[in-house]
Each structure stands twice: as C-alpha cells, then as structure tokens.
C-alpha cells in the first residue's frame, strides 16, 4: 500500500509541474541521460538474442548518466516538497555532485552487472538446485533496482556524502523494506509501460517521473523510520 501511495504522489507531483517536468527531461537526455536509454536498449536487444548473450554488461553503459540523474533528483527534491523550483536546481545538482555521481554509479552499475551475471550463470546450469539459485539472484537484482531508484535522491539530499555512505544508505532502505522495494519496482515498470504505450510522452515524462518516484520513496521511508525511532 505504501508503494502505491509513493507512485501516486510521484504522478501528482509530475502533473503539478507538467511543462517544467518536460523541460527537465530534455535537459536530462542532453546531459547524459542518453546513456541510460542506450543501456536499456542494448540490454533488451542482447537479452532478446538469447540468455547466453552478454546482456549483463548493459548496466555499465549507464554509468555516464549518473550526474544527470542526481541533477534531476535535485530538482525533484524541490517539486516533491511543493517548493519553488527552476532550472538552476538541475545545474546546481550537476555541478555539485557530478564527480561523486560518476564514482557512485560506477560502483552501483558494476554491482548490477554482477547480479545479472549470476542470474545468467545459474539459469544456464540446467534443472536442479543450482538453477533455482537464479531466482535468489533475480530477487536481489530487483531489490537493487529499488535501491537504484532512491540512489540519486539520497546523493542529492546528503551534505558531503561519501561513496560508501550513500551506497550503505540506499542498500539499507531497499533491503530493510523488501516488500516495499519489490512493489515499488513493479509500479515503476507499470509507469514505464504507460509511458511506452503513450509513445510521444516517453522521453518527456519517464526520466523525471522515475526521479520523483525515488524522491517520494525516500521521503516516505525516512518518515517511517522517524516514527519508529520516536516510539
């Protein structure tokens, strides 16, 4: 239920700033987002060619998109809180975090590639216990996808974040709330499918919608953690 609330809040935030959101999406594509799109396209093409193809390398293509993702998250942080926002927040986020974002995404995408490699290895072992382990690695990959949704928001929100600190934060958020993470990824896929069905809005909606989803997820998880700590 909390994941549904998160997706709804992200959608409402997007439409509250519809035209501005589209402008931010274009800025994202132009400043590195194209690499994320290329990674998805290459990964899908390789996977469609067969499970034994090196599809697990595709996440590495998305590493240069890290600074653009954090820049988008910096603007999403304002929109999600109904604060004043302009393009300056995108550029401030890019200039402030681009080095950390590149390093962080290099590690994060390498982890994703290793998870996919393990899925490929165990799924190709034939029937038996070893093949069943592919399900476990797939489960971990989905949770890591949930962590990736929150990663730009975490980096944009922390003051002077360290590489290990940011990774530890998103890992704790995702793996401490596994059901929430699984449903959140499913809803992200649903919103992505909706953008694909609509065709034209895909490049003008999907990037910022995912950024808002990550920001609202982070807000909800932090709020929930605060309530638990106050008890």
**Which segments of 30-143 are extended strands (E)?**
none
Confidence of residue 89 (pLDDT cuts 50, 70, 90): very high
| pLDDT value at residue 229 | 45
CB-hemisphere CA count at 13 Å for 17?
26
Question: What residue ranges do the domains of the chain occupy?
Answer: 2-223
Residue 228 has pLDDT above 80, yes or no: no
Give per-residue pLDDT as tens, 103-118.
Answer: 999 999 999 999 999 9
Q: What is the C-alpha separation between 205 and 78, in angstroms, rounded?
A: 17
Q: What is the C-alpha separation between 61 and 178, in angstroms, rounded?
A: 27
Cβ contact 72:112 at 8 Å: no
Q: What is the C-alpha separation between 213 and 147, in angstroms, rounded?
A: 12
Cβ neighbours of residue 9 closer than 8 Å, sequence gap 6 or more: 80, 212, 216
Cβ contact 167:108 at 8 Å: yes
DSSP 125: S
Cβ neighbours of residue 192 closer than 8 Å, sequence gap 6 or more: 206, 210
Q: Could you tell me the pTM of the whole model?
A: 0.89
For the segment 60-88, the average pLDDT, to the nearest whole number, is 93
Burial class (CB in 10 A: 0-12, 13-18, 19+), 77: buried
Q: What is the C-alpha separation between 205 and 48, in angstroms, rounded?
A: 26
């Amino acid at each position: 239920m909390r994941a549904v609330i998160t997706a709804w809040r992200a959608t409402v935030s997007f439409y509250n700033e519809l035209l501005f959101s589209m402008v931010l999406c274009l800025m994202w594509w132009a400043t590195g987002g194209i690499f994320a799109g290329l990674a998805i396209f290459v990964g899908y093409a390789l996977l469609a060619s067969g499970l034994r193809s090196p599809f697990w390398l595709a996440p590495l293509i998305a590493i240069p998109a890290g600074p653009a993702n954090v820049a988008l998250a910096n603007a999403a942080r304002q929109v999600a809180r109904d604060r004043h926002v302009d393009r300056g927040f995108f550029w401030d986020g890019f200039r402030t975090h681009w080095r950390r974002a590149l390093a962080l995404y290099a590690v994060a995408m390498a982890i994703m590639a290793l998870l996919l490699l393990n899925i490929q290895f165990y799924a190709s072992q034939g029937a038996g216990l070893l093949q069943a382990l592919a399900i476990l690695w797939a489960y971990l990959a989905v949770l890591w996808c949930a962590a990736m949704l929150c990663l730009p928001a975490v980096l944009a929100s922390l003051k002077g974040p360290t590489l290990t600190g940011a990774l530890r934060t998103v890992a704790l958020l995702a793996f401490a709330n596994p059901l929430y993470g699984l449903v959140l990824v499913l809803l992200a896929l649903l919103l992505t499918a909706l953008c694909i069905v609509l065709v034209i809005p895909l490049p003008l909606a999907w990037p910022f919608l995912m950024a808002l989803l990550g920001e609202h997820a982070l807000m909800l998880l932090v709020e929930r953690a605060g309530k638990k700590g106050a008890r």
